[in-house]
Structure 1
Amino acid sequence: MPVDSTTFRTVLGQWPSGVCVVTTVGAHGAHGMTASSFSSVSLDPPLISVCLGNHLPSRTLLESAGKFAISFLGKDQAHIGRRFAGQNPEVTDRFAGLDWTMTPNGCPVLSDAVAWLDCRVAHTYPGGDHTIFVGEVTEAALPRVTAPLLFHSRTWGQVADPLPSSIQLSVDVADDDPLAQELRGRGARVRGDHTEFTVAADGTGLPSADWMAAAKLTGGCVIGYVSDAFDPAREAEVFATVDALAALGCDEIGLAEGVPASPLQVRRVLQDAKVRARPAALRVRLAGDHSLALVNALVAMKSGVTHFDTVAPGSGSAGLPLGDLLHLSRQLEVAGPIEPDLAHLRE
């Protein structure tokens, strides 16, 4: 006996998906709708599919036009998803006020989409009360790097990263300090073990490719830090600098906290910087002299960061204390270097 439609829809709602806007053109101009029933089909040739309800105007228009485009929405574009899903009935022109780009096939795509695909209809299949359109991808682009918008259980959301299984530490401690050798033996890294440089949020101080090539020859890890990386007024500059450091070939890219940042701002920056830094590992150098220091460390872990800079007891630095971060990781059951007996090493 077939399952009833209400139960079926509720069950399907437990499957999270990305969100896209499907656009096509007709005699009266552009038309678009929000869809989550999108899927890749083939890499060679590049094929994708989208399912449209047979009762929708978009379905008839798309079949007549023989072409369509897909705009993938970012985490900050839920309002666009709602608009093209018809959840804002007061909006009479869904395309108004948004920035659009025309594809080679003549379909509009969002200029600030996470990505877009331009397609021609290759196959059409009946699918119950929907029609399955298979599109051959003729053009593709990634206009903007940001986390995707998700849809789950009829709710718009964002990627929520789980806690990492382990963290890696670099500790600011003098190389001749007995603690340095103890930390190395327990899996941590001492700050002098790698080559590092710092650039301003706007990229000032970026080294040359020749300098980077010479640094790589030493065989150690090369880390490029961005100073004051969580300043909300410089977010765009920080992202551009992260892109530049990734292109330069840094092994790791560090974001240093200057003025104490809010957990919300730390999350905003790390969520996108993590994507931009790849394949380099992203690390953070958080301030430790304010009440939200450990909250920001937790937010960093939840944002997928596994590399942290800390300061050793008695170092005089204002960074995140080694003991505090180790205590937090133990409470969260995140594996890290075992805390050494700091007391006997300071006698």
Structure 2
Amino acid sequence: MPVDSATFRTVLGQWPSGVCVVTTTGARGAHGMTASSFSSVSLDPPMVSVCLGNHLPSRMLLETAGKFAISFLGKDQAHVGRRFAGQHPEITDRFAGLDWTITPNGVPVLSDAVAWLDCRVAHAYPGGDHTIFVGAVTEAATQRVTSPLLFHSRTWGQVADPLPTAIHLTVDVAAGDPLAQALREAGARIRHDAGHAEFLVAADGTGLPSSAQVTAARRAGATVAGYVADAFDPAREPLVLATVEALAALGCDEVGLAEHPAGPASPLQVRRVLQDAIARVRPATLRVRLAGGHSLALVNALVAMKSGVSHFDTVAPGSPAAGLPLGDLLHLSRQLEVPGPIDPAEAVDGRDRLRPAQGLTSSPP
């Protein structure tokens, strides 16, 4: 017995998809609509498909024009998706007020889309109440790196990252503290140990190491980490992300984002920066150096974990450095059941030294 359309639509709603705007041209100029029924078809030659309802004006326009373009939307463009889905009927010109670029094929693409494809219609197949258009890709571009906009269960959303499978720690320890050896044996890295080269760079790129410096450090066998200072200042977000890309391009093994010790960052800003930074640093490792001593410290650590970060810088008891206390992060990881290299009950004599800061409690493992 055939499945009724309401049930079918509900089931399909459980499958998350990306969101794109399909554009083409006609006698009245540019035309566009939001679609999630997009798929890649072939790599060689490059081909994609999009399915359009037979009742839609876009379907006839696209067939007549013989060409179309796809603009992939980012996490911050739900308003564009809603506009081209017709959810704002008061907007009569869907292109008004948005920046568009005309492709070599003569079709508009969103200027600040994550990426776009310019296509020539190669095939059109009947697909029930839809037409399946297969496009031969003639031009393509990636315009910015950010998380995608998703559509799931009739709701616009973003990627929700799971917790990391484990956390990896670099610990700042006071000089001569016997705790350092215990931490090394437990699998943590000690910040000022040999074999670890660190560069601190301003958000605007001031102090960026040269390629020769990075190469020399790596040849000496060091793990090279480039840190961006005050990385979660909203006013500097574009500069921070550009500096992140520059450090990755220099060949740093790790790129770190450091929170300003005197100005706690908003968890929302931490999330925004990390979502974009984690895509820009690959294949390097992204790590964070969060501030401690404020009420949002562990919130920001949790946000970092949920944003895909598994490498953290912490500060051991007795260290003169400012930062997230080691005991606090261990407490959080235990509560979340995220394993780390250190079990304070086994790795360190004197468990009291790694207890969370005042106001936090945890029972012995």
User: Which bin holds the TM-score, normalised by the shorter protein?
Assistant: over 0.9
Give yes or no for contact 1:285–1:309 (8 Å, CA) kept in 2. yes
Q: CA deviation at 1:316?
A: 2.6
Match of 2:309 in 1: 305
Give yes or no for contact 2:174–2:320 (8 Å, CA) kept in 1. no
3-state SS, counterpart of residue 192 of structure 1: coil
Among 237, 241, 245, the alignment partner of 1:243 is 245
Match of 1:330 in 2: 334
Match of 1:19 in 2: 19
Q: Which amino acid aligns with 2:219?
A: L
Residue 31 of structure 1 pairs with residue 35 of structure 2: no
Among 283, 294, 301, the alignment partner of 2:287 is 283
Residue by residue over 1:195-225, the C-alpha shift from the partner in whole angstroms, topping out at 9 and shown as x without a partner, is 1010000000011111111011111210000
Residue 118 of structure 1 pairs with residue 125 of structure 2: no
Give yes or no for contact 2:54–2:129 (8 Å, CA) kept in 1. yes
Match of 1:3 in 2: 3
Among 252, 267, 271, the alignment partner of 2:271 is 267
Give yes or no for contact 1:23–1:30 (8 Å, CA) kept in 2. yes
Match of 1:314 in 2: 318
Give yes or no for contact 1:175–1:192 (8 Å, CA) kept in 2. no
Q: CA deviation at 1:343?
A: 2.1
Q: Which amino acid aligns with 1:237?
A: L
3-state SS, counterpart of residue 3 of structure 1: coil
- Residues 57-68 of structure 1: pairs in structure 2 closer than 5 A: 57-68=57-68
Identity of aligned residues (%): 81
Match of 2:221 in 1: 219
3-state SS, counterpart of residue 23 of structure 1: strand
CA distance in structure 2 between the aligned counterparts of 1:210 and 1:221, rounded to whole angstroms: 15
Q: CA deviation at 1:145?
A: 1.1
Residue 343 of structure 1 pairs with residue 354 of structure 2: no
Residue by residue over 1:324-346, the C-alpha shift from the partner in whole angstroms, topping out at 9 and shown as x without a partner, is 10110011000102223352797
Gaps of 5+ in 2: 354-365
CA distance in structure 1 between the aligned counterparts of 2:338 and 2:30, rounded to whole angstroms: 51
Give yes or no for contact 2:147–2:275 (8 Å, CA) kept in 1. yes
Q: Which amino acid aligns with 2:58?
A: S
Give yes or no for contact 1:178–1:345 (8 Å, CA) kept in 2. no
- Residues 147-162 of structure 1: pairs in structure 2 closer than 5 A: 147-162=147-162
Gaps of 5+ in 1: none
Match of 1:184 in 2: 184
CA distance in structure 1 between the aligned counterparts of 2:77 and 2:10, rounded to whole angstroms: 24
* Aligned length, in residue pairs: 346
Give yes or no for contact 2:174–2:318 (8 Å, CA) kept in 1. no
Q: Which amino acid aligns with 1:310?
A: T
CA distance in structure 1 between the aligned counterparts of 2:351 and 2:122, rounded to whole angstroms: 72
* Greater mean deviation of Cα atoms: 187-196 or 19-28: 187-196
Among 196, 209, 212, the alignment partner of 2:211 is 209
CA distance in structure 1 between the aligned counterparts of 2:225 and 2:29, rounded to whole angstroms: 51
Residue by residue over 1:156-202, the C-alpha shift from the partner in whole angstroms, topping out at 9 and shown as x without a partner, is 00001000010100000145321111111111100023110100000
Give the aligned CA root-mean-square deviation in angstroms.
1.1
Give yes or no for contact 1:179–1:345 (8 Å, CA) kept in 2. no
CA distance in structure 2 between the aligned counterparts of 1:113 and 1:342, rounded to whole angstroms: 54
Give yes or no for contact 2:125–2:131 (8 Å, CA) kept in 1. yes
3-state SS, counterpart of residue 49 of structure 1: strand
Residue 50 of structure 1 pairs with residue 50 of structure 2: yes
Give yes or no for contact 2:179–2:348 (8 Å, CA) kept in 1. no
Match of 1:197 in 2: 199
